[in-house]
Structure 1
């Protein structure tokens, strides 16, 4: 059968988010780390697709043509091409931002794809299955039997909510990530303090997007090290070392581009 409006509710079991706000927070963290992996046109396509994933947080089965038309209208007849949108889909699925499923009608013919946005891997790397962009086939009529796959909260996520008292000067995506491992407001603020110091030392203090991206990437690297067999005696110092290295790379890259 042809998927009609309203059938999107049948895919509710695929949502990994309890609310639209939670979905938006995870998407912000994905973009903070991977925004520069996309061209401007691809980024426009990704952000617009995410807006079609609001009714069921993180789930969309909008047709490509529908998304492109919305972009075309929003940007006053200056949209993006279908090929650009498809490149975005491949990149985003390879990065693990979302998983693509094919859907089929009762007669076996293909219908619009289902895009299921994944949670940002705060506690663990994306599952191999989600990192693989191999497209799977599902039948919409079978989705009613699919169990809700929202991830259970881990013990780290159940820590005291001291993070709620963190300074509002610290970007929420960073707080959301750090609180799982260091729920103390003081600890989170110390990590961010070292972030701003490292940014200042490398002439990046006026680049908020760059600061957030580097901080999330550096914190992810710290977490991976903490989960390995290597003991991290001083997480803050280790994190600061990663920050300085990454900011220095950006600094020298900027100098090279300026032919300084």
Structure 2
């Protein structure tokens, strides 16, 4: 199907969303469910294309060159190639994330494609074989669960005494943090060491921060990554000080990180809306 080329506002009738917020919610669900099918470069291209679908929620009419230029402006030499972007288009359209329509100028020559993002199918479930495979691989035995719970309970007791001031670990071994890898920023070490002084634990917190930044395509923004990590750890500390049980502080910290990076992404998406 070929459509006459026009400004993106002219394609409002193709939008499947009543607001930008609704589009963001559905796109986030697509990412949560289908992100694993895309390479890092393809994800960068897909997320950037989604930003061009902000003016008319869920409808983008940007040229490939325009999208690639925007990516290059953000990532520099770490941008993606035209072939990578085209692979992303094929994958995303096959999966059903969006539908691609060709547009033509008045003289009949081909213009930029129209990308109409689809709503996430709420009743979609993984294939039976895939679901069975997931459960076979991720459900541990009852014995392993009990062992894991005991380790977590012990960790909670240690962290509780550490956070509440009862026999602080930092006082027991004040120099453990000196063995932290140089790859971990000193600002992060200086904050975390007062609550989790063990070098290995500090490094694990930072490792998960790097993983979260990479997963959300922010690994190149070092200042932002450090700022988000510090804010997230402070939020973790507030949670622990509230005496609410946190069985796995590292996992809880990772959850905070992902939420903050996602909020940052959608803030940038909103900023692209021109009123």
Q: What is the TM-score with the length of structure 2 in the denominator?
A: 0.44
Between Structure 1 and Structure 2, the one with more helix by share is 2
Q: What is the TM-score with the length of structure 1 in the denominator?
A: 0.47
Which one has a bigger Cα radius of gyration? 2
